[in-house]
Amino acid sequence: MARITIDNYNKIKEKYANISSWALWSEEIDTRSKQGMGDISFFEDPSQRTLELLNPNIVLVGLNISEKIDRVFGNFHPDKTSAQDYKTRFAVHGSMFWGAYMTDVIKSYEEKISGNLMKYLSKNKDFEKENIKMFEQELLDIGSQNTIIIAFGNDSYTILKRNLNDKYKIYKVPHYSAFVKLDTLRQAFTDLENTINSNN
pLDDT band at 179 (very low <50, low <70, confident <90, very high): confident
Q: What's the CA gap between 177 and 182, in Å, rounded? A: 11
* Nearest Cα to Cα of residue 34 among 73, 81, 93, 102: 81
pTM of the model: 0.93
> Looking at residue 36, what is its pLDDT?
78
Q: Which pLDDT tens digit goes with each residue over 96-145?
A: 999 999 999 998 776 677 888 889 999 999 999 999 999 999 999 999 99
Under 8 Å between Cβ of 153 and 132 = no
3-state secondary structure of 151: strand
Residue 148: its H or E element: strand 148-152
Between β-strands 55-62 and 21-22, what pairing exists: parallel, antiparallel or unpaired? Answer: unpaired
Q: Which domains does the chain possess?
A: 6-199 (3.40.470)
Encode 22-36: b = buried (16+ Cβ within 10 Å), e = exposed: bbbbbeeeebeebeb
Under 8 Å between Cβ of 72 and 112 = no
Under 8 Å between Cβ of 98 and 27 = no
Q: Which pLDDT tens digit goes with each residue over 54-110?
A: 999 999 999 988 777 888 898 888 777 667 888 999 999 999 999 999 999 998 776
φ, ψ (nearest 5 deg) of residue 150: -120, 115
Please spell the DSSP secondary structure of 72-121, one letter per residue: TT-TT----TT--THHHHHHHTTSTTTTEEEEES--S---S-HHHHHHHH
Under 8 Å between Cβ of 114 and 122 = no
